[in-house]
Structure 1
Amino acid sequence: MFQTSPQVNMLKTFFINIVAWSVLLPAVAFFAVYRKIVDIILRMIHGELYGGLFNLNDTVFFWNDVTSIYLTTVLYIKSKREIDLLSNVQNVIRKQIFGNPDAYPKLTGTKCSFGGYSYWKKYGCQPDSVVQSLKLPKNEKFSEEYLKKATAEIIENKIDNNDSVLWNFYISEKPLEDFSSDGSYCYPIIARFHHSIADGTSLVALFIRLFGDSTAQNYTEELFKKLIKPPIAHHHQAGIEPLEILVKKIIGTINFSFDLVFFAFGRLIQNGQLREHDVNGLHRTSYSGKKITVWADESDCLMMVKRIRERTKSKFTCVISTAVSASMVDYFKRNKLPVPEHISGAMALLLDFPSIDPIKPVVLDNKAAGLCYSLPCHTSNNILDSLRKVTASMNEQLKYTDAIISAWLLRYAMGFVPIKLMENYMGYDAQTFMLTNIPGGSRIEMFDGCILEKVVPIAPNAKRIGISFGIISYDNKLQIGVTVDKAITANQEEVQKIANDFSRNIRLLDAASEKRC
């Protein structure tokens, strides 16, 4: 399965693949009919207030866990003067979202459940229920440390007892104390969205639409096409070479299609549900639901990653995965815990860019796929050796055919099966960590001369995973957020060191690659 593991028997993978499709396709066909019946019944019950069943690719995120699957973002709003940020945000949301409820049914409706599926009722959500004032400290400074603790408390708790409202904003009415050295004011916003609403890229696009002025650089299809499908060099040599290239492409397409149909689903099951469970100091069999959330950034970190990638011919995800692996190993060593050879995790992958038209409302959708993989632990004295091992391992494991099947299952198959049945066969029992990486665009100028100074991504502890890394590149900076379940550690300083070590390991990679390359 991996370089350090025994070779996976192709016949076994083929057999698992065939059995899985043989079970899944009839089940999907049966539940597609059942789901349509539920849809008809609900339409008769609620009439015009019925907003429809949640999309197939949204349903999976309603699985039961110790905490709900929220995508949380901390926004730092910088202003040259004191402002009433709460009123400003309330006005924006009332005008752009609740003023056009049919364009944002997930945000203006309420979620209900019936027959094993989730659906929404139109117009059930009100602005006052989703835009709230952030609770300020009484006996301590309103510092960034307090903000981290407040964010963790928000993540731990449901938005309401019935889970009917799936998003909310916490707005600070006062600026952070002693945060800016230039005399400016910094007001934090904690924005929380249930993952069923959209993936991270769509939510960033929503933030840009809501708060960016006319000069804000929006997410564009060109940006995502460049990230997802790099340009292919064209060959113009004469002779027989074009025919050879054509033959190679045909053979490659046949091999790709064969792997997609007969092996990819089997590998997904082996790498996910059938993987041997990790045994290390960051993995538990059960979790408390109580969280520690921290973050860190460094102004030069993004440029360092780009330089490392160019010097070593590695992918962006390989560089940050090496830094993540090294940060976890640093945690093991500090706490005198055994260092495993590998740490497995789940990575969110973007296979398609968000549907964004500057004239139309932002389409809130889940387009990401997820793959399980294993990272070699950084045990070498030379961190470049670790990067090479991680790159080779990820190139072997993260196959595009597997990602296509994962995305197809999310978008078209799993949503047909009632969540109570599906969640028994899903989760990340074996994996230690979750990693998400989101492109965030350029600096956003906002209302009243404000600037969106910093964006902190908080990735959720997905089902049976206790440590998550959220990474975003925004304003030419790389920002990392780390969330850890307190069943792993209750020491916030230790978790902060994991976040800080990520940047430190990027610096070490940059220095090592400059010497070697």
Structure 2
Amino acid sequence: MDRLTPLSYAFLAAEDVDPAACLVIGSMAVLDGPTPSLAELRELVAGRLPSVPRYRQRVVSTSLGLRGPAWVDAPAVEVADHVTARRVPAPGGRREVAALVAEVMAERMDRDRPLWDVTLCEGLADGQWGLLSRVHHALADGVSGTGLYRVLFDAETADAHDGQNGITRLPPLPPGAAPGVALRGLGTTALAAARGTVALGASMWPVSRSGLVGPLAGDRRYAWTEVSISESAEVRHALGVTVNDLVIASVAGGLRELLLDRGHQPDPHALRSLLPVSSRTPGTAGVPDNQVTLMLSLLPVEIDDPVERVRAAHERVARLRSAREPEAGVAWQAVAGLVPFPVLRFWMRTALRLPQQSVATVTTNVPGPREPMTCLGRPVQHLLPVVPIADRVRIGFCILSYVDHLVFGITADAASTPEVEQLAANVGASWRAVVDA
């Protein structure tokens, strides 16, 4: 029986303790017409579903709760329950698409069914249509979550952009391995993990009060901005930085403007972001599970100059890597796997109920398909990524590459962050300010 890892279970626990949390990840593919019928789409998914076994399984808890929940085959998968349709309100432009994405992404999944779904979005402007695909974070991380593309799209999804984000890959916890085996495998890096734990502990200091950390309402807002990867090649070479450094600096630039617009003077301790780090080895992008660790970085929102902001982002991430923060995350996941499940469940739910003040946002950079994709012969023009928010984090950034495009998708708590469209515009402007410098 394939049991959920402690990290995968944590995403379910976060929903259990917070009624406003919805831990699903997703993306909206925007395609040229003509729009297929719902029957055509359901037939397509039904024919390809056998190739992805995890999408035919559901989460089942043990009767006494002495062992963790596990993935088991669902008695039957009714494709009609998972593939539905909605119409984007007229005129079907950017604002209407964003509103529909926000609405759907805030809806929780039925845990009695496999934890994925697809929404056919009709009525987009210019004769376009959309596919909004979602998977629960307990099922997949951002990299493996793109595995749903294999069910929807005609062309095979290309492997992830290894090295695009400039973050060294770490040895993953072997899927299905006993926690003790995984822990022994970390023996050679025990000192590194200890150093990383000290660094992570220092990162738990509360950030400055800015209104970006606090309780969530149930509704969400969504916006996005799109930039070109190739246009940044010259400045990346000149500065000796990566795409990921530019991403972090652009997010920091957008948040800096948000703070200034709200009357806050950005300071070096204003905003800390959780930076997920993939611990996958090449060729495992399609394995549906969570192979990810983290770093916690203060964003350089106090720096006005866009080029200096990129340099600062690069230096801060480099320091965290040298301090072995990601290795600490891997080690603690292995330790959590040794803890009896009733104790782990109590500890997780207790921790998630505490009002954290250390992390203000999440910034995740997911390598997407390198080649253009099609669905039922229709070309995919854009991929809009969506990241969930929870645990008092009111704004989340998911950055997804598609061919030469890089899209910043921003999910925000509707009640506390009504200016998400302006935030997206500021992030794009911050990127272009560096490229044009």
- Shorter-chain TM range is 0.7 to 0.9
Match of 1:199?
Answer: 141
Structure 2: where are the runs of 5+ without partners? Answer: 170-187
Residue 128 of structure 1 corresponds to which residue in structure 2? 80
CA contact (8 A) 1:228 1:352 kept: no
In 2, the alpha carbon distance for the partners of 1:151 and 1:261 equals 39
After superposition, residues 1-400 of structure 1 pair within 5 angstroms as: 52-64=2-14, 65=18, 66-79=20-33, 82-97=34-49, 99=50, 103-105=52-54, 107-114=55-62, 115=65, 117-124=68-75, 125-137=77-89, 140-160=90-110, 164-172=113-121, 174-177=122-125, 179=126, 185-207=127-149, 209-214=150-155, 216=156, 218-219=158-159, 223-224=161-162, 257=189, 259-272=191-204, 275-284=205-214, 286-298=215-227, 301-342=228-269, 343-353=271-281, 355-356=283-284, 362-380=286-304, 382-399=305-322
Which structure: greater helix fraction? 1
For residues 301-360 of structure 1, give each alpha carbon's deviation from its aligned partner in whole angstroms, at most 9, with x where no partner exists. Answer: 312333322110123222211111111111122232332333111011113236449xxx
1:283 deviates by: 2.5
Evaluate the alpha carbon distance shift between residue 337 and residue 264 of structure 1 in structure 2; reply closer, same or farther with a 3 A threshold.
Answer: closer
* Partners of 1:329 and 1:56 in 2: CA distance: 35
Deviation of 1:396 after TM superposition, in Å, equals: 1.6
Question: Which residue of 426, 431, 434 corresponds with 1:506?
Answer: 431
Aligned residues: 405
Could you tell me which residue of structure 1 aligns to residue 172 of structure 2? none
CA contact (8 A) 2:394 2:416 kept: yes
Tell me how far apart the structure 2 counterparts of residues 397 and 261 of structure 1 sit (CA, whole Å): 12
Structure exhibiting the larger radius of gyration computed from Cα positions: 1
CA, structure 1 residues 447+329, in 2 after alignment: closer, same or farther (shift >3 Å)?
closer
Tell me the secondary structure at the aligned position of residue 473 of structure 1: strand
Q: CA RMSD in A?
A: 2.8
What percentage of aligned pairs have identical amino acids? 17
Q: After superposition, give the CA deviation of every residue in 1:266-307 in whole Å (9 maximum; x if it has no partner).
A: 3223323xx2243113222x2213211111213xx3123333
| Residues 415/136 of structure 1: CA separation in 2 closer, same or farther (3 Å cut) | farther
Mark the CA change 1:136 to 1:477 in structure 2 (over 3 Å): closer, same or farther. Answer: closer
Partners of 2:426 and 2:70 lie apart in 1 by 43
TM-score by length of 2: 0.84
Q: Distance in 1 between matches of 2:213 and 2:87?
A: 32
Aligned equivalents of 1:366 and 1:329: distance in 2? 31
Conservation of the 8 A alpha-carbon contact between 1:63 and 1:420: no
Unaligned runs of 5+ in 1: 1-50, 180-184, 232-255, 513-517
